[in-house]
Structure 1
Amino acid sequence: MSTRGEAFAGLSVALITPLRDGRVDYETFKQQIEFQVEAGTRCLCPVGTTGESPTLSHDEHERVIAFVVETVAGRCKVMPGTGSNSTAEAVRLTLSAERAGADAALQVAPYYNKPTQQGFFEHYRRLAEESSLPQCIYNIPGRTGKNIEPETIIRLAEIPNIALVKEATGSLDQASQIIAATDLTVLCGDDSLTLPMMALGARGVVSVVGNIVPRDVIALCAAMDAGDLAAARSCHFKLFALCRDMLGLSTNPIPVKAAMQLLGRDTGELLLPMTPLEPEQLAMLKKSLTAYGLL
């Protein structure tokens, strides 16, 4: 089935934001971006949850987006996080990303203030009206406090430049309803659910573990696209323990930043209130990376 956001099918990586002494480390960031481009990653998603958007300043947020767009230079798609629990602020960030040359906008559901379903609808409609960028609805009620119900997303699908959903509810039932009723490109928002979500018709994943092993996630997506379930299962089970630890040992992005530090690809620095792994958690992460063959 053709979907309106098909250009974003495959692997999108939810980039970490590398830090050094409390500031964005752009030299390391460039290396991480080049690593993704060389791997063949379809789309980069800076300043999302994994990119510590809640703790970057607005100036840093906008500069990171511009830097990623400039560094990529058209070699892959860029879909930055530009969402907010203030519709006016989300519009401002989205228009800034559009001026910088982003290809789409990842819009987290308004958080903390817990809008009604009509509130969600009006929020996304306003974003679609104000910006010409394809809009990706990012539904992650575990963080935002409220689910965007499938019926609301189905209504939103009638708006032309709402093109994608990052589906991170963990509910295959919800994903099924959206995929069955719309032509939106659905991207999995939970690494460990990529295979079952793609089996339902999702077109890829916005991945955290892709920061570390993008080629392996690409192989999983390609196997599912090719209908090779045996190969896809093999990829899934290879990735599964790593996915579990990246998102299960502690709050994202704490484990993935620790892993990147262990692999010599990041300082591992976080912005408060995020804090490093405890020693026993770090030992478990090292064991997982070693079992995978990365250490």
Structure 2
Amino acid sequence: MFSGSIPALVTPFDADGRFVETAYRELIEWQISEGSSALVPCGTTGEAATLAKEEHFAIVKVCVDQAHGRVPVIAGAGSNDTRVAAANIAAAKESGADAALMVPPYYNRPSQDGIFQHFAALAPSSPLPIVLYNVPGRTVTDIQPETLIRIVEAFPKVFVGVKDATGVLQRVSQHRAALGDSFCQLSGNDDLALAFNAVGGVGCISVTANVAPRLCADFQAAGTGPEALALHDRLFALHTSLFTDASPGPVKYAMTKVCPSFPGGLRLPMTWPSEASRAAVDAGLERAGLL
């Protein structure tokens, strides 16, 4: 259902933390024109954790409106409360999204059966297909391969893919062996996207694509051969630099370098990246040919 370079969109805020709709629309237009194949509003990189529910889905609606059917919109909609997660999926549907991106419950640390029961409770009434988002580095909840396979096999028409940010490449093969090629596997780590695709992945939900959408789209279109390797090498320093401080601080700094008019505000507790991080981002942008 989804493939290629899919930016996990940053959310532009001004210095006072107010959403800047004009900048968001311009970002979306740029992403589409540069070859991004889908859009993810209000995910981790979009600072969803700092958005009130009404604001969150109003931003999703802006994204849908600007995309205007040209590319799919996968709205961040996860929660650690199953009832809230169900309401979020409904709100994403009402906002016009094509799918929901759902983390497993965070903070309360459910068992593997609890993770399964969470998604099993969401599936029967879900008005949207769901892309699972496994990012244990943030959620402290890891959807083990056996659990993911159990979820998808139980509800194959609902759970259509995974954004895998575990960094464990063998899981791509484990998932594919059980679920086949029709189950969409997307990397959640830009720096591992080449290896991820080589073992069966079909794209990346990307942080780097915010600042280098054309290069990321070209990289995904190149497959896994020499051209893809050359683009990976060109982008690698940028990929790593965007996590030299708490994300999305570095990528917002990078946006202000590539697009000087882009508002780089962050909402607490997120802060501007350190001097060392900014220097690393500058070097990554230069290596990629973006400065």
Using the size of structure 2 for normalisation, the TM-score is 0.95
**Structure 2: stretches of 5+ with no match in the other structure:** none
Residue by residue over 1:58-106, the C-alpha shift from the partner in whole angstroms, topping out at 9 and shown as x without a partner, is 1110111111011111011000100000111111111011112111100
Which amino acid letter does the alignment assign opposite residue 76 of structure 1? Answer: V
Give 1:285's match in structure 2, choosing from 266, 274, 281: 281
Which amino acid letter does the alignment assign opposite residue 112 of structure 2? Answer: Q
1:198 aligns with 2:197: yes
Match of 2:78 in 1: 83
Equivalent residues of 1:69, 1:78 under 8 A apart: yes
- 2-side partners of 1:34 and 1:127: how far apart? 32
1:212 aligns with 2:208: no
1:163 aligns with 2:160: yes
Which amino acid letter does the alignment assign opposite residue 177 of structure 1? Answer: Q
- 1-side partners of 2:110 and 2:34: how far apart? 39
Give 1:150's match in structure 2, choosing from 121, 145, 151: 145
Give 1:13's match in structure 2, choosing from 7, 16, 20: 7
The 3 A distance-change label for structure 1 pair 182 and 235 is same
Residue by residue over 1:145-192, the C-alpha shift from the partner in whole angstroms, topping out at 9 and shown as x without a partner, is 121110001111111211010011000122221122113201000001
Equivalent residues of 1:82, 1:97 under 8 A apart: yes
Which amino acid letter does the alignment assign opposite residue 7 of structure 2? Answer: V
- 2-side partners of 1:115 and 1:265: how far apart? 43
Query: 1:288 deviation in Å?
Result: 2.2
- 1-side partners of 2:36 and 2:276: how far apart? 32
Which amino acid letter does the alignment assign opposite residue 11 of structure 1? Answer: S
- 1-side partners of 2:285 and 2:222: how far apart? 24
Residue by residue over 1:107-161, the C-alpha shift from the partner in whole angstroms, topping out at 9 and shown as x without a partner, is 0111110011111111112222121311011000011112111000111111121
- 1-side partners of 2:124 and 2:6: how far apart? 25
Identical-residue share of aligned pairs (%): 41
- 2-side partners of 1:237 and 1:252: how far apart? 22
SS of the residue corresponding to residue 126 of structure 1 reads: helix
1:64 aligns with 2:59: yes
Query: 1:24 deviation in Å?
Result: 0.6
Which amino acid letter does the alignment assign opposite residue 55 of structure 1? Answer: T
**Structure 1: stretches of 5+ with no match in the other structure:** 1-6
Runs of 4+ in 1 over 3 A off after TM superposition: none
Match of 1:121 in 2: 116
Equivalent residues of 2:89, 2:127 under 8 A apart: no
Kindly tell me the number of residue pairs found equivalent between the two proteins.
285
Equivalent residues of 1:179, 1:200 under 8 A apart: no
Segment of structure 1 superposing worse, 8-17 or 275-284? 275-284
Equivalent residues of 1:254, 1:275 under 8 A apart: yes
The 3 A distance-change label for structure 1 pair 265 and 109 is farther
1:233 aligns with 2:229: yes
- 1-side partners of 2:271 and 2:217: how far apart? 30
SS of the residue corresponding to residue 277 of structure 1 reads: coil
1:267 aligns with 2:266: no
Alignment RMSD (CA, Å): 1.2
Match of 1:3 in 2: none
Equivalent residues of 2:47, 2:248 under 8 A apart: yes
Which amino acid letter does the alignment assign opposite residue 203 of structure 1? Answer: V
Segment of structure 1 superposing worse, 16-25 or 121-130? 121-130
The 3 A distance-change label for structure 1 pair 110 and 265 is farther
The 3 A distance-change label for structure 1 pair 265 and 105 is farther
Which amino acid letter does the alignment assign opposite residue 209 of structure 2? Answer: G
Equivalent residues of 1:98, 1:131 under 8 A apart: no
Which amino acid letter does the alignment assign opposite residue 272 of structure 1? Answer: L
Which amino acid letter does the alignment assign opposite residue 161 of structure 2? Answer: L
SS of the residue corresponding to residue 23 of structure 1 reads: coil
- 2-side partners of 1:279 and 1:256: how far apart? 14
Segment of structure 1 superposing worse, 175-184 or 68-77? 175-184
Match of 1:187 in 2: 186
Which amino acid letter does the alignment assign opposite residue 250 of structure 1? Answer: D
